Amino acid sequence: MKTKLQSMFVAALTLAASTQKLGINLIRVAILVIFVWIGGLKFWNYEAEGIVPFVANSPFMSFFYTHSAPEYKEYKLKEGEFDAVKHEWHKENNTYGFSHGLGILIMTIGVLTFLGIFWPKVGLVGAGLAIIMTLGTLSFLVTTPEVWVPDLGSGESGFPLLTGAGRLVIKDTAILAGAIVILADSAKSVLKQLKK
């Protein structure tokens, strides 16, 4: 009985071990889906308006906007809300133009990463860009005040208490890890091609 269970366990482990390439390619598919979806949303006003606190507070991106932080706080809109005055401010701020460009970049990174299944050199570029993108996103944990629960009297505020925006950002650690796996897999494939 013990030998039978052990052989079943070994068979299960052997099967699990054989799924590595499938898992790596599923990471590519996941990055494609996430990046194309999120990138596509950047063409909708509510999404463009939603990223303003991140961009305005970032020393690496704030120059894309006309107005500097914290002026945007007066022009925040809830998802789905419309206010003509605030909308005009966002147009003037380049909120929508920047978001459209970012959307194209994000979708391109997703597609390049996915194409690594067929062309490792392309996947290598995509994975490298995905790593840079996720590191940029994770930098918002340092630069954006809105990622931490504010002190509004409850006694529960600041680090390590993440707001909805902060919880959204921290999830990029998983995408970063996946992109590193993809980078390594693509690099192995490219090295094999170079040795032929």
Confidence class of residue 125 from pLDDT cuts 50, 70 and 90?
very high
Percent of the chain's residues with pLDDT above 70: 99
> What are the residues whose beta carbons fall under 8 Å from the beta carbon of 25, sequence distance 6 or more?
117
The two structure tokens encoding residue 194: 């170079």
- 9 forms beta bridges with none
Alpha-carbon span 183 to 189, nearest angstrom: 10
Q: At 177, which amino acid appears?
A: A
Cis peptide bond N-terminal to 160, omega within 30: yes
* Predicted TM-score (pTM) above 0.85: yes
- pLDDT, mean of residues 179-188: 98
Q: Which two tokens stand for residue 161?
A: 């208490």
- For 153-167, the pLDDT digits (tens) are 999 988 999 999 999
